[in-house]
Amino acid sequence: MQFDTRSLWVYVYFPQLQLDLLESTRSEQNKAEVPAAIVDIKQNALCQVNQTAHKQGLKQGMGLAAASLLCSDLRLHEYQPEIEANEIQNVANQLYLFTSDIVLAPPNALLLRAQNMLSLYGGLNAYWQIIKHSLNKQNVHFSAASAYSIQAAKMLALSHCNMISASRKKIAAHLAKCPLVHSDIDVKDLAKLARIGVSTFADLNALPNAEIANRVSRVSMSVINELQGKQASKVTFYQPQTVYHDYLELLYEIHLSTKLIPVIARCLKKLSQFLLLRNALCLEIEIGFFQREHDKFTEIFNSIRPIYKIQDWLDIIELKLESIKFESPVYAISIACDKYENAETANQDMFAQKSTHVAALTLLARLQSKLGKTNINTLSFVQDFRPEHSTQKRVFDGSEQCQNTASIFADRPGLLLPEPQALHAEVDVIKGPERIQTGWWDDYPISRDYYIGQSSNGQQLWIFKTPNKEWFLHGYFI
């Protein structure tokens, strides 16, 4: 999709996104500040350094040998662009609340088309303050700049200009000082331009386009035209993901499952926001635990009722984690939610008593997490008129529907005795008889006339009479 060169773009660059993600787990794992850095294995050098390591003399581009000499307790993590690419999507999800046109530039940048949002927010400054506030809440370092072309905004942001302005004159003044190494011009073409003294955007503008075209490739010439605002960029706008997946690497390895709760809570916060934005609830989430010396351990956590709140999921996860023991320390976790449903928005009576039902479902969810799904049983009706055989125990799977048994078992008591007892007290019959004569085809035939009786103290009883004129008590109405 192409846009004219009058659209104002904001390029947001995240110089240490993976390290920011690691640092966010430090408060959950350990309050102490420790020197940490991300190392690029291909270059064998540090590419991201936290503030504590920077105070001890470590810098980006420093070799591992020199870094180890300066800081003996430095914690190193391998640079993984896929982690940053995944986190860029999480950042875009949050920004999608405030701006519509977002373009991902993985692994560590994104673009915002600000032009069509200026009328809504009343100007660029108000719009940027909203975006900046959202980014600060996510605890990420960033550098941003605005320009009337994507390439120009990118070069300004990578030069750490941090200039958000709609003034073409101001943008041109800052852009003239930017080195071309921050553009998408091919490295070989940059070397050719450097040999003739062209290293900044101002130097590039001083040359005629015809001369530049003779020295660089067609791809690089297209980039230069975009920089100069003579050619529009082709972009694909971001669409929010339909399924949720998050991966978080830990600053420290953890062996005890209970110590993972604060870290999981941070991941659940993102999931909660994902569901809230879609007015959705989920019944199941999958958490993967990446172990240092063993295969990934995956556990599925279920809820009886659809939920989205952090604390509701934490109650379930915490109970189940108590019985989980890892074979080796966990260095990362992942959370996935592939299925969710829309929350019901039907109007309800403000006096309706819903709390008891919700509390029962919450209790069932906790029991399943603690004891296991196969250890929670329920009673269900069976098509048999004999009281001793009318119900059976089976595993509770959460799919029970209210059964319409009123026409068959309307006069059955709430409490049935395990075995009928001989009736000795005086009882007044208030309803009956109900004859049950069945079971002749198996080993449990019965022939009884059931009555509803009332004792002298007002208790209603379920009694029956046998063909031998014997009376028995079989249950109580409660």
Residue 272: per-residue pLDDT: 87
Phi-psi region of 398 (alpha: psi -120 to 50; beta: other; left: phi over 0): left
Q: Which domains does the chain have, with CATH numbers?
A: 9-34+73-227 (no CATH), 244-342 (3.30.1490.100), 410-476 (no CATH)
Cα 254 to chain centroid, rounded = 21
Mean pLDDT of 145-174: 93
pLDDT in tens, 167-205: 999 999 999 999 999 999 999 999 999 999 999 999 998
Instruction: Output the pLDDT for position 398.
Output: 59
Residues 6 or more apart whose CB falls under 8 angstroms from that of 412 comprise 387, 390, 462, 475
Rounded CA-CA distance 416/475 in Å is: 4
Q: Given pLDDT bands bounded at 50, 70 and 90, which one contains residue 402?
A: very low
pLDDT at 439: 85
The SS3 call for residue 227 is: helix
User: Can you give the pLDDT at residue 348?
Assistant: 54
d(CA 430, CA 411): 12
263/270 Cα distance (integer angstroms)? 12
Give pTM, 2 decimals. 0.69
Tell me how far apart the alpha carbons of residues 469 and 214 are, in angstroms, rounded to a whole number: 116
Burial of 422 (0-12, 13-18, 19+ CB in 10 A): exposed
In order of 25, 243, 287, 364, the CA distances from 367 in angstroms are: 30, 28, 19, 5
* DSSP codes, 131-183: HHHHHHHTT---EEEEESSHHHHHHHHHTT-------HHHHHHHHHTSBGGGS
**Cis peptide bond upstream of 107, omega within 30:** yes
Question: Rounded CA gap, 154 and 456, in Å?
Answer: 90
In this structure, the strands spanning 109-113 and 330-337 are unpaired
Q: Using one digit for the tens of pLDDT, what is the confidence trace for 415-467? A: 889 899 999 999 999 998 989 998 888 888 899 999 999 999 999 999 999 99
* Neighbouring C-beta atoms of residue 339, cutoff 10 Å: 10
Question: What is the pLDDT at residue 111?
Answer: 95
Dist CA 400 CA 245 (whole Å): 30
